[in-house]
Amino acid sequence: MKIAFSTLACPDMPLDRVVSLASRCGYLGVDMRSFIDEGERMANDPMSLDPAQVDSIFDDAGIIPLCLSTSVRYDAPIDPPVIGRVWVNEEAGVPETKSFVDMADRAGVKFVRVFGYQLPAAEPRTWSMRRVVERLTLAAQTCRNTDVRLLVENAGSFSQAEALGELIEQVNSQWLGASYNIQAAVNAGECPLHAVETLGDTLKVVRVMDADDDGNPVELGKGVYPLEKFFTKLRDIGFDGWVVYEYPKRWYPELGGECERVLQDGADLMYRWMAQPAHA
């Protein structure tokens, strides 16, 4: 396993300082939250920089530019159902995916994270599922002739591992893998300790955070999630991908703790958990 952290922890920090922080704290990679919309972008969003500059920042520090974590989704309905195929973009989400994949390819980024998202209850599941699968198939094909791979993350109708695995199986693309967020899984009533086995070799990135009894985010190791057992489980199943620490200060500005200390404590904990004897 290899560890990274999300820039959600430090939304106001320029990218060069983020990468320097990763190096000092012992992280091997950085997961970059990224937006198409200029108004949404954080201070370290690589979409605001030249790709060569992003590549140089990471290369100089010896840190992996792990992922562009986007909000792209593929569930937008076609309305009206027939004429909408002519006048509305039937491939919703695909052009945005291509923009991120192009940026990632030029900047040396390994992954682009996307979502399938919500299947409407008012529509037959086979129809809405087919729409998401067709769009995600096209989106995955934008990785052709690049070193970038698309990761679809559990959320919405695909919050649980079984549903996410079904989506990936139907797309059946060599350019598509899974990103598994334990917070989304817990909110959907799933136990991540068992679910990660369901995704098998498609699982490339696991996102971890901690929360209190009410589900509010807290620093790693200070909440109620059995994360030490979770890391042991990952090692027991032979997971050799990436674990990303998410401390979502971007969404919860009231979260305390100085960024460097929070991330350093998180790295120390994860390395300790990874070093525990198997079946501890």
* 278: confidence class by pLDDT, cuts 50, 70, 90: very low
Per-residue model confidence (pLDDT) at position 280: 36
Q: Give me the mean pLDDT over the 55-60 stretch.
A: 98
Each residue's pLDDT tens digit, 152-182: 999 999 999 999 999 999 999 999 999 999 9
Q: Give me the mean pLDDT over the 201-215 stretch.
A: 97
- Per domain, the residue ranges of the chain are 2-274
Per-residue model confidence (pLDDT) at position 279: 40
Bridge partners of residue 210, in order along the sequence:
218
Residue 277: is its pLDDT beyond 80? Answer: no
Bridge partners of residue 152, in order along the sequence:
114, 178
Residue that is written with structure tokens 């109708």 in the block: 157
Per-residue model confidence (pLDDT) at position 234: 95
Per-residue model confidence (pLDDT) at position 172: 97
pTM metric for this prediction: 0.93
CB 66 within 8 A of CB 29: yes
* 198: confidence class by pLDDT, cuts 50, 70, 90: very high
* 194: confidence class by pLDDT, cuts 50, 70, 90: confident
Nearest-angstrom CA–CA distance, 155 and 188 = 9
Cβ neighbours for 246, distance < 8 A, ≥ 6 positions apart: 5, 6, 8, 9, 181, 183, 207, 208, 209
268 vs 90, more confident:
268
Q: Give me the mean pLDDT over the 49-54 stretch.
A: 98
CB 8 within 8 A of CB 249: yes
Per-residue model confidence (pLDDT) at position 226: 95
The percentage of the chain sitting over the pLDDT mark of 90, rounded to a whole number, equals 87
| E-assigned strand segments in 99-191 | 111-115, 149-153, 176-181
Which superfamily, per CATH, for 2-274?
A: Divalent-metal-dependent TIM barrel enzymes (3.20.20.150)
Tally DSSP H helices, then E strands, for the chain: 10, 10
- For all residues of the chain together, what is the average pLDDT? 93
